[in-house]
Structure 1
Amino acid sequence: MLQLSDLRERLQACVRQAGALALSYYEKPVQVISKTHGFATEADHAVEQFLIHELQVLVPEAATYAEESGQTGDSMHGYCWVIDPIDGTTNFARGIPYFCISVALTLDGHPVVGVIYQPVLKELFYAESGYGAWLNGMRIAKRSPRLGRKVVVVWPGKSVQHEATLRYFGAAALDCAYLAAGKLDELEFGRVAWWDIAAGILLLEEAGVAVSVTQRTYKGQTVYRVVAGGS
């Protein structure tokens, strides 16, 4: 039987290596590849292939569900790696340092391990079901209510609180990580993919943040609405 604790160090090391690979392309001319919904870069594909190979070594029985290469195996039964090689591709391609690598391990469709890594700042967020949420080896304290004005990350730009200061950064996984760490107060995503949020949802839950996730179909694709914040 797979022991999640056995994965901690090796998984984090793997994602750090993926971050180093991403940085080898960063702020350099990169090939842009068009796809049905948006675009990717050669860095997205290189990082994803690296992760798929390394993660299959860690948990050989796991399926994979990755943004660029799609699904192999059964993602809803047993273990599955959910991979967003570069969340915030537009930022990455333009040299804006707000992007991350997001990896989750799900069991029967539910995240049990999540890693979000911001390689520019070397911020590694880790969450494990029942083990808590962590940033660079330090446990993230459970959230408590804040006083004063709130900062809300809203996708796709629709205000949910008139008294709030609104921000839109363009990397949903990293938004989740920063909310978990207390750098943001609330967030709302109207239409995101599973690979955008799988690791982030677990990180938020383990940090004590209230999260609501609803699923729907949009243009033939399964998408998710996420509202999170508070304690």
Structure 2
Amino acid sequence: MNEITKYTPEVRHSPKSNTVSNNDFNFPNHFPFFWTKKNIEPISENLDYISKEVIKILHKAASMLTSAYTGEIIYDKSKVTPIQLFTTEVDFKIEDFLKRELTVKFPQIGFIAEEEQSSKKEKKIQKKQKLYWIIDPVDGTFNFANKIPLFAISIALWEGNKPIFAAVSLPMQGDLLYAVKGKGAYLNTKLIDKNQQMNAKPYVVYAHIGSQEEKMKLYKYLLTKDAFPRFLGSGVYQTSMVCLRRVEFAVFIKTAIWDIAATILIAEEAGLHAEFISEKPNLNNLKHITDYCHSVVIGQKETVIKVAQDIKKELSI
């Protein structure tokens, strides 16, 4: 029998209720980076079932997040890093909830998630894995913590180095975008029209993690495309707006895999294109998982190919 490495949280149920609330979890100081199982078989033929089950789980997570939004935000100072300025307890609660629910339904699939930390042992295990959930439990933590309603929950299923299913919740807007490889992208239950055009004037969003000099060069270039390039504080939210044709294109420089894992599939299934400035993600390379190393432009194909070429030249990437 194949073995699986996982962490199962302790759940405390209220004596007056059978439901699990936001405060019903005990968390360790360290999560294992990957839960794995050997010899995973392709499950592409089950994507319709997976889609339905994940959407149910995502709706529950969104409800937890909106409930927490109205309450007191508690920062987890022990998880501060130079790039991830801070996290909140909610980030970890949502991530643990998603892992627990997805593991119950799909125990054969491993995890890559933003709030986790890696170890040498787990790095070795990772190389044997073929299927991963790539999760960002709260993309836009700064917005969330400051009561700015622009944040998202992101779940993607990758087989090898390609996404085959993706779902994104925009909790405060009550919207859910999802896509199955080869079957189109949806906003809630409505198929997104691949031929839909933008009606508004050019609107560009961006995100950059790097030196101030690089940021200034990028912003200066983007000013040639839009008088007011925006940074909305959530890469997942930003790309969702591109998929819905509310934003012309999104630029990401040196971002993490969990910030783009779901939205690049949704964008492609919505008739758009992801043009990588950096190498394409490679989950066999741990650097591509743990480092902020992905640079990509997402939008209409003709536009983003040209923009990607320009940015590569401007920033010498």
Same fold (TM over 0.5): yes
The normalised TM-score by structure 2 is 0.67
> Which of the pair is proportionally richer in strand?
1
User: Where in structure 2 are the equivalents of 1:161-180 lying within 5 Å?
Assistant: 161-164=223-226, 165-180=228-243
Segments ≥4 residues shifted beyond 2 Å: 70-77, 143-149, 213-218
Task: For 1:131 and 1:150, locate their aligned partners in 2 and report how far apart those are by CA, in whole Å.
Answer: 28
CA contact (8 A) 1:142 1:208 kept: yes
Q: Is 2:113 the counterpart of 1:50?
A: no
Aligned to 1:120: 172
Task: For 1:201 and 1:13, locate their aligned partners in 2 and report how far apart those are by CA, in whole Å.
Answer: 22
Match of 1:99 among 134, 146, 151: 151
| Structure 2 gap segments, 5+ residues each | 1-41, 209-214, 281-286, 302-317
* Amino acid corresponding to residue 267 of structure 2 in structure 1: L
1:51 deviation in Å? 0.2
Match of 1:19 among 62, 78, 83: 62
CA root-mean-square deviation: 2.2
1:163 deviation in Å? 4.0
1:56 deviation in Å? 1.2
User: Which one has a bigger Cα radius of gyration?
Assistant: 2
* Amino acid corresponding to residue 298 of structure 2 in structure 1: A
* Amino acid corresponding to residue 221 of structure 1 in structure 2: D
Match of 1:194 among 257, 280, 291: 257
1:222 deviation in Å? 4.3
CA contact (8 A) 1:117 1:124 kept: yes
**Per-residue displacement from partner, 1:6-30 (whole Å, max 9, x unpaired)?**
1121110100100111122113222
The normalised TM-score by structure 1 is 0.91
Q: How many residues align?
A: 230
CA contact (8 A) 2:203 2:249 kept: yes
Q: Which secondary structure state, in structure 2, belongs to the residue aligned with residue 190 of structure 1?
A: strand
Task: For 1:202 and 1:104, locate their aligned partners in 2 and report how far apart those are by CA, in whole Å.
Answer: 9
1:63 deviation in Å? 0.7
Q: Is 2:201 the counterpart of 1:149?
A: yes
Q: Is 2:299 the counterpart of 1:226?
A: no
Q: Is 2:126 the counterpart of 1:60?
A: no
CA contact (8 A) 2:110 2:129 kept: no
CA contact (8 A) 1:149 1:163 kept: no
Aligned to 2:222: 160
CA contact (8 A) 1:76 1:108 kept: no
